[in-house]
Amino acid sequence: MTHIIGQHDCKADSKGRVLLPISLKNQLLPVLKNGFIIKRSVFQQCLELYPREEFDVLMKKVMKKSKINRKYDAFVRNFVAGMKEVSIDGDSGRLQIPKNLVEFAGIEKEVVLNAVFDKIEIWDKDKYEKVLAEGEKDYADLAEEIFDDDE
């Protein structure tokens, strides 16, 4: 399992190309050759970039659910909407974000790459800062709720 850490400020050009910082690229070196999956987030107006192996683990969980179910169909339809296989150029560290996903996330120029253990969230910087500010007031409550049953 890959554990990716760090928050990285970057810029996207008009074609949706983002140059990854060296520190992030170095963390991704072990999985660079296998490619990545980029998709819309289920919960936020951002993108998620998964190393291929991590995405395969996630897909196994999704595929275990009953497929004879309208809610499953609706979820999967949205889950895979706009999903693409992408690569990161090993020499330059450049990622090309597909245009439809740039539009979904509202990415303009300033981008935040927020590593969340097994994936990287890709945010328009203004949207990311707004979500963080809104979440600050709930952070302590969320922590208590999520870790309440830990021993």
Tens of pLDDT, residues 78-122: 999 999 999 999 889 999 999 999 999 999 999 999 999 999 999
Cβ neighbors of 113 (< 8 A, separation 6 or more) are 6, 7, 8, 9, 10, 18, 20, 21, 24, 120, 121, 122, 123
**Count of other CB atoms within 10 angstroms of residue 70:** 7
pLDDT tens track for 28-75:
999 999 999 999 999 999 999 999 999 999 999 998 887 888 999 999
Q: Is the pTM of this model over 0.85?
A: yes
Break the chain into its structural domains and give their ranges: 7-147
What amino acid occupies position 150? D
For the domain spanning 7-147, the CATH number is 3.40.1550.20
Question: How far is Cα 53 from Cα 60, in angstroms, rounded to an integer?
Answer: 11
**In the chain, helix, strand, coil percent, each to 5?**
40, 25, 30
Residues in the chain: 151
